[in-house]
Structure 1
């Protein structure tokens, strides 16, 4: 049975603070956070918000993932991620302009494309293990194709390779292997620049900004988004669907970066721009680079409100969100992430039963995402600490997460 006193983010903050020879008051001053809130977080009486985690991490000179306990080594071992992750690392050595003398000839690009598209659907399902297992062979094959083909076919091979790296980056980042994720981004950038596809280059910047959540350099991420938005502005104004999808996602990422910085004015303004783009698009659109639409924009509003600490508003906003059957089947990762965000808001508003129910819905939508998401795990620990006697379903959920 999992222990209610299992290490949580607060205990890790206290450990790192002690290691840095800082008092609570000293860390609170350096991180510009409330001493009272920091004390409650360290004692486990208050969940740590992402903004507080990022502030403490920067003040301590470490990454946020350290405070969140990522990667979750024991759980990854149980799920048998070791060999696939090692294969990914090995595949990343095969890149650039160095051709292998005895490499197996690649299949026609039309056949490879089908497998890459399937990999994309696995990514949207948050099927991390399947992506990690299938991607290394595709990477080797597409690297070889990029050497053997010329002209438009070479560019196409690089475009497919960049997208494959995008899928693998999701796995590395979500599992907490952030250094591996940075290596993947470097490989992706190399292929994106050779793909003759400006949106692949923009996608690389979009993913670069994701790492800013871990380092706490939100201003860097916002600068990246601002620059990328200028690059798609003309095509989006002309109504090009791919450009609108990219523009909307860049605005949503800027929304979350501003919210994590606790800048409610900029977060609200960025979300309003994303909403306008979603209205122009008029539908949830699955695009080859970044999918976008009204539903994704709506759930980001709730995520924004959670990051800003507006928990009651977030719960209220969630009541108007409805997922179509098509959206649920196409984007289970987004559905799962929504319920993880909602569970956090419900916990803060005292609705522990609702919080637990949302976590179960997140697990149903995207199991591996729920199991390895730090905020889902932290919410489970907070629910167990808050209950004198945990429900059997909550205990089972904690056990399943490996807490």
Structure 2
């Protein structure tokens, strides 16, 4: 397959379809997608949605990342990710062997302070700094896990599980799907030893995210159902951590339900019901809540309302939902990664509605919020390619944006 940033997803679908000796009609039937839409996507006249990509990938027996073209190696090399990613891979080799290093692990309160900083870097989508800082922390925490028992041992594994969570966000965001699976395995090992049921649920939440790549959305949805049952006791007690976890699980369940194929009214109803449950949880919290496991509140729920309408193909409703979504300054400062993702979704809806200038404006807002998050977002690239194909007299702003993406 060509390793070109100018290759749109539709061209990759066509190539893989030909390799599988399938006609467009054959792939459309197997993937349960519209033949007309497949034809337009392959020719570059329509951008490919994540749900469409996942359906085609599963029908072709490959991962979505193959069709997306991830990881974007040239851009990652330019942004100096090579060494940090290699160091992360090396740190993941050990999770259960004591090595007795010359320099023993620091006191846990000092390590915990660094883990907190790592979390702040992750939340602000500072991928390079997160990737650079994480490997040494992993090595130190793994060694500490062999030196502490009881409550202190559980604390080490809580810190280690959270560190893995930060790493997962980076490698998954960069498109290193295989590495993300390894991170999840290590996270699961520590979460089960952390004495914290919410860390176990967070692992399930991230595991469900990988189902977006494989197209096994029904598996991810069942994972969310199981975790929702596990968190119910804490929710009944009004525990704020439980409410934050429940809200996020509902939002992920909504997005997974929206992508289950073949799509139908029952899936749409299920997705909307999950979002409504999440909104009721957000109202119960009374505002955006920063939590040690998963933060949650009305702002993130509104963001997902837009995402959900885009996934369901209701682009007009998505644009209207975006118009009534007003993100507080504090939320934007704390969660630029979520803000960036939101504006990428808004741009997709605006593009489908024919508002090309609005789509470009939203992409500029996404870049302003979290540059690296946007640069490696596949849908940002797909939208820019569609904008360029729609207007061959490409404006200077759009041309500069495309060059910044590596197109």
TM-score class, shorter-chain normalisation, is over 0.9
User: Which residue in 2 is equivalent to 1:33?
Assistant: 33
Q: Which residue of 2 aligns with 1:305?
A: 309
Determine if the alignment matches structure 1 residue 266 to structure 2 residue 264.
no
Aligned ranges 1:138-177 → 2 under 5 Å: 138-177=137-176
2:354 corresponds to which residue? 350
| Corresponding residue number in structure 1 for 2:398 | 394
Contact 1:344 1:379 in 2 (8 A): yes
Equivalent position SS for 1:323: coil
1:5–1:385 CA contact under 8 A, matched in 2: no
Aligned partner of 1:380 among 372, 384, 391:
384
In structure 2, how many angstroms separate the alpha carbons of the residues matched to 1:24 and 1:321? 39
Question: 2:101, 2:50 → 1: CA distance?
Answer: 48
**8 Å CA contact retained: 2:310, 2:318:** yes
Conserved in 2, the CA contact under 8 Å of 1:252 and 1:274? Answer: yes
Alignment partner, residue 17 of structure 1: 17
CA distance in 2, matches of 1:29, 1:229: 34
Which whole-Å CA distance do the structure 2 matches of 1:384 and 1:338 have between them?
22
Using a 3 Å threshold, how does the CA distance of structure 1 residues 160 and 85 change in structure 2: closer, same or farther? same
**Other-structure match for 2:203:** 204
Correspondence for 1:181: 180
Q: Structure 1: which 4+ aligned runs deviate by more than 2 Å?
A: 101-104
Corresponding position of 2:300: 296
1:53 and 2:53 are equivalent in the alignment? yes
Is 1:233 aligned with 2:232? yes
Between the aligned partners of 1:381 and 1:127, the Cα distance in structure 2 is: 25
Secondary structure, aligned partner of 2:62? coil
Offset of residue 29 of structure 1: 1.4
Alpha-carbon contact 1:103-1:144 (below 8 Å) kept: no
Q: TM-score, normalised by structure 1?
A: 0.98
Unaligned runs of 5+ residues in structure 2 are none
Answer yes or no: is the 8 Å Cα contact 2:275–2:305 preserved in 1.
yes
1:5–1:65 distance in 2 versus 1, CA, 3 Å: closer
1:44-74 C-alpha deviation (Å, 9 max, x unpaired): 0011111211111011000011000000011
Of 311, 334, 347, the residue aligned with 1:330 is 334
What is the Cα deviation at residue 104 of structure 1?
A: 2.2
Match of 1:105 in 2: 104
Contact 2:5–2:406 (CA under 8 A) maintained in structure 1? no
Shifted more, 38-47 versus 23-32: the winner is 23-32
- Which secondary structure does the structure 2 equivalent of 1:104 belong to? coil
Partner of 1:63: 63
CA distance in 2 between partners of 1:104 and 1:144 (Å): 11
SS in 2 for 1:283: coil
Show CA shifts across 1:186-214 (max 9, x none). Answer: 00000001110000001000000000001
**Separation in 2 of the partners of 1:336 and 1:210?**
18
Q: State the secondary structure of the residue aligned to 2:175.
A: coil
SS of 2:290 mapped into structure 1: coil
> 2:93 corresponds to which residue?
93
1:102 positional shift: 2.8
Q: Output the CA distance in 1 between the equivalents of 2:256 and 2:180.
A: 19
Give the CA RMSD over aligned residues. 1.1
**Alpha carbons of 1:102 and 1:110: their partners in 2 closer, same or farther (altered >3 Å)?**
closer
1:30 and 1:171 mapped to 2: Cα distance?
Answer: 33
Structure 2 counterpart SS, 1:321: coil
Tell me by how many angstroms 1:5 deviates.
Answer: 9.6
